Amino acid sequence: MADTTLGFHLDAPFGTCDVPAGGEALFHQERALVEALRNGEEAAYELLISRYQAPIYNLVYRLVNDPADASDVTQEVFLKVFRSIRDFRGQSSLKTWLYRIAVNEAHNQRRWCTRHRKKEVGLDASSEEGGRSYQERLSDPGRSPYEEAWNEEKHAMIEQALQTINPAFRAVVVLRDIEDLSYEEISSVLQVSLGTVKSRILRGREALRKALAERLEHDAAPDLAPQTVE
């Protein structure tokens, strides 16, 4: 079936009809999208943004931990894609290529912030959006308010713990356990060996586990401060 998102038919205009379902079909659709982008098709740009803007933002946000910076970096990612799409050789998937650009831009932004800017203390931006990421999460009507609150609390704890671990470990954990990329895709995104990917995942998960354990232990510690009796 043709992908007709935003009225952009991936098969008919580019001669990819009668493609069997599965991986080969996705390959031909992606190739058609890349060709349309190279030809400057406006619908292709719209489709690329609608399909990847939210995932790219969420990835970048977890790496830079700032909504405004994440928005700026996401915009820069797509600008770089539009400028360099003709250089894309198809040696990896389009998604992998996009994620590689996003990770690099996020690292550049974090380095810039470290060198040139100190974070100002102010109102927590996440409070306005309930700590949610770019793409609003829909509540499951089948869950009780307690379950909903607990899930939100767990999500917030994981996001906070992620920010405490080494950025190199954080990147692989996010790509593997949140974005669900394969080891090979992560290797391509980060431009490191498979062995390095596996090592960083193991060490990153252990660091995250320890951070979460410390947070849970801290939250569970009894308050021994003297209380005023009213």
Residue ranges and CATH numbers for the domains of the chain are 1-118 (1.10.1740.10), 143-222 (1.10.10.10)
Please tell me the distance from the alpha carbon of residue 47 to that of residue 159, in angstroms, as a whole number: 29
Q: Lowest mean pLDDT: which of 3-7, 101-105, 129-133, 209-213?
A: 3-7
- Two tokens at 128? 């306005």
For the segment 53-71, the average pLDDT, to the nearest whole number, is: 92
Quick one: angle between helices 94-116 and 23-38, nearest 10? 60
Global confidence as pTM = 0.63
In the prediction, which pLDDT does 143 show? 53
What is the number of other CB atoms lying within 10 angstroms of the CB of residue 157? Answer: 15
For the segment 124-134, the average pLDDT, to the nearest whole number, is: 45
Give the chain's mean pLDDT: 76
In the prediction, which pLDDT does 34 show? 92
Do 49 and 8 touch, CB atoms closer than 8 A? no
